[in-house]
């Protein structure tokens, strides 16, 4: 059977992708951020997944206000990098895993999570920047990726609790897929950031530190945090953090923290990164 071996979380700041693509990783501004992912790039070489279920949000690249799925699962063979502010990133095409994606869709929908099935979708920085942070700049991504898009752009996003329970449903689905696959679940976005309005630039280190602690040790408690707390404490885009709870729900309750990194500044965002491993 397939199994979930590990999970990780990472911010997905678009300027980080641009720094990589434009050869600026050694600039004094960016070097400390990329240094924080050196451990992770080594770790993933010895913990290479066959498939990543990559939980991210689309930033009006594939969807618009005309169509706003709460949870959308990409079931296609391939996904093209989206054209956004800097143009489409010069990164490899993302290869999906249609069989596992359809299996997760079926299992989750029959478990009463009404996923939107997407057979054609471009993927933006929300998905490609974490891939670049973990795998660098390969000519082909070293694993298959199932995009799982969560609406955190237009109110109302799903609750943290719903996201946590979706993670559990994903775990059940993966563990009932009859193939010997190592699967990781990644949660992206966050941490504290606000891109607009009078509070633009907001960073809340204390909230972020507590969020990291609770995601590891008290996910049930953290899952109860209401939206208004995310927005008040972590800024309007801090709500992206609900996606980290999908990852946490997919991992075992006693999953072990392997690595943690936190860095400010990166564009407008406090970058947070965690790696959790399930016991074998
Ligand atoms: C920034 C962060 C994001 O998560 C995003 O989607 C866009 C921009 C930023 O920090 O600039
Ligand atoms: Fe974002």
Ligand 1: does its nearest atom lie under 6 Å from the Cβ of 193? yes
Kindly give the distance from the C-alpha atom of residue 49 to the centroid of ligand 2, in angstroms, as a whole number.
Answer: 24
pLDDT higher than 90, residue 147:
yes
Q: What digits encode the pLDDT tens for the residues 253-274?
A: 999 999 999 999 999 999 999 9
As a whole number of angstroms, the distance between CA 276 and CA 279 comes to 10
Q: What pLDDT shows up at residue 280?
A: 81
As a whole number of angstroms, the distance between CA 17 and CA 21 comes to 6
Confidence of residue 86 (pLDDT cuts 50, 70, 90): confident
Q: Is 63 exposed, middle or buried (0-12, 13-18, 19+ CB in 10 A)?
A: buried
Q: What digits encode the pLDDT tens for the residues 26-44?
A: 999 999 999 999 999 999 9
Distance (Å) of CA 46 to CA 38, 43, 49: 13, 6, 9
Question: In 9-156, where does DSSP find H-type helix?
Answer: 14-21, 31-35, 38-46, 98-110, 125-135
Q: What is residue 236's DSSP assignment?
A: G
- The pLDDT mean for the chain works out to 97
Domain tally, the chain: 1
pLDDT higher than 90, residue 217:
yes
Domain region containing 222:
3-277
Q: What pLDDT shows up at residue 146?
A: 99
Atom of ligand 1 nearest to the CA of 266: 10
Q: Which ligand is nearest to the CA of 203?
A: 1
First-residue to last-residue Cα distance in the chain: 14
CATH number at residue 42: 3.40.830.10
Ligand 1: does its nearest atom lie under 6 Å from the Cβ of 13? yes
Q: What pLDDT shows up at residue 115?
A: 97
Structure tokens that stand for 185 in this block: 């679940």
Q: What pLDDT shows up at residue 85?
A: 81
């Amino acid at each position: 059977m397939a199994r979930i071996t590990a999970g990780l979380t990472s911010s997905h700041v678009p300027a980080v992708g641009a720094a990589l693509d434009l050869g600026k990783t050694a600039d004094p501004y960016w070097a400390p951020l990329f240094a924080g992912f050196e451990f992770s790039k080594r770790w993933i070489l010895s913990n290479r997944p066959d498939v990543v279920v990559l939980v991210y949000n689309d930033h009006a690249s594939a969807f618009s206000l005309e169509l706003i799925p709460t949870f959308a699962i990409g079931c296609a063979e391939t996904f093209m990098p989206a054209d956004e502010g800097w143009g489409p990133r010069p990164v490899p095409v993302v290869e999906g895993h249609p069989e596992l994606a359809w299996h997760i869709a079926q299992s989750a929908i029959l478990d009463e999570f009404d996923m939107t099935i997407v057979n054609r979708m471009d993927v933006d920085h929300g998905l490609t920047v974490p891939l670049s942070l973990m795998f660098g700049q390969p000519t082909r991504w070293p694993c298959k990726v199932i995009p799982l898009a969560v609406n955190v752009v237009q109110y109302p996003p799903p609750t943290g609790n719903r996201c946590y329970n979706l993670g559990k449903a994903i775990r059940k689905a993966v563990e009932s897929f009859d193939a010997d696959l190592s699967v990781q679940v990644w949660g992206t976005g966050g941490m504290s950031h606000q891109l607009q309005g009078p509070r633009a630039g907001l960073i809340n280190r204390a909230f972020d530190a507590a969020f990291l602690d609770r995601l590891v040790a008290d996910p049930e408690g953290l899952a109860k945090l209401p939206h208004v707390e995310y927005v008040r404490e972590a800024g309007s885009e801090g709500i992206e953090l609900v996606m980290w709870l999908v990852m946490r729900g997919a991992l075992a309750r006693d999953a072990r923290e392997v690595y943690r990194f936190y860095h400010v500044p990166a564009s407008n965002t406090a970058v947070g990164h965690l790696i959790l491993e399930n016991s074998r």
